[in-house]
Chain A
Amino acid sequence: GQQLNQSPQSMFIQEGEDVSMNCTSSSIFNTWLWYKQDPGEGPVLLIALYKAGELTSNGRLTAQFGITRKDSFLNISASIPSDVGIYFCAGPGSNYKLTFGKGTLLTVNP
């Protein structure tokens, strides 16, 4: 089955710093999705990407669909304490299944 490798596994940063994380796939994806899970809650969709090379922003978040269609990147600028959580990349697997990466745990020190 398709595998998504997300890195880094965890990040500890200071408030105000920029953050980058990425996701790579063993196969080509037609869609990349980025979700965020706040502590004690379910994941929430942040950004959806549908075209190779696409760059999409949502406030301080920017995500890119890699040209090879096997990777995607998420950047967070000027981090704030409420950015803490787990960030998951996801892509469509076979038979309607959404495959999730293993997540990047972000901690922001005020």
Chain B
Amino acid sequence: DTAVSQTPKYLVTQMGNDKSIKCEQNLGHDTMYWYKQDSKKFLKIMFSYNNKELIINETVPNRFSPKSPDKAHLNLHINSLELGDSAVYFCASSHGKGGIEKLFFGSGTQLSVL
């Protein structure tokens, strides 16, 4: 009964491939996020959805496309993967829209692009 679960935990793929990471939360939260953590452990927000509506869209390549079929799910699809996309991607959720909200994170997806 993990609160925020994301799959897969590890993803190894070749450059140019398309891949998806899935995220689900069972906390009843209204807002979900995708964060990217680079090799220096810096956490940077990518996207945020509130009740299936996109509210944060940081400057990320348009090869990255989030999709929220319902407020409990936020998936991340990445087209034409590049070496620089290698990182750990974290899904998170919160009750409200963010800012001072407590974030609950998934355990991360380590993406390695070869």
Interface size band for B? 20 to 34
Q: Is the CB of B40 within 8 A of A98?
A: no
Per DSSP, chain B at the interface is loop
CA A93 – CA B41 in complex, angstroms? 19
Known: A96-B55, A96-B97, A100-B43. A41 touches B107 (CB 8 A): yes
Q: Do residues A86 and B41 form an inter-chain contact, with CB atoms below 8 A?
A: yes
Residues of A in contact (CB 8 Å), total 25
The reply to whether B41 and A105 form a contact with Cβ atoms under 8 Å apart is yes
Pick the residue among A42, A86, A102 that contacts B106 (CB under 8 A). Answer: A42
Cβ-defined contact, A97 with B98, below 8 A: yes
Chain A, Cβ-Cβ closest to B44: A100
Residue B108 at the chain A interface, CB threshold 8 Å: yes
Q: Is the CB of B99 within 8 A of A92?
A: yes
Residues of A within 8 A of B (CB): 30-31, 33, 35, 37, 40-45, 48, 50, 86, 88, 92-93, 95-98, 100, 102-103, 105
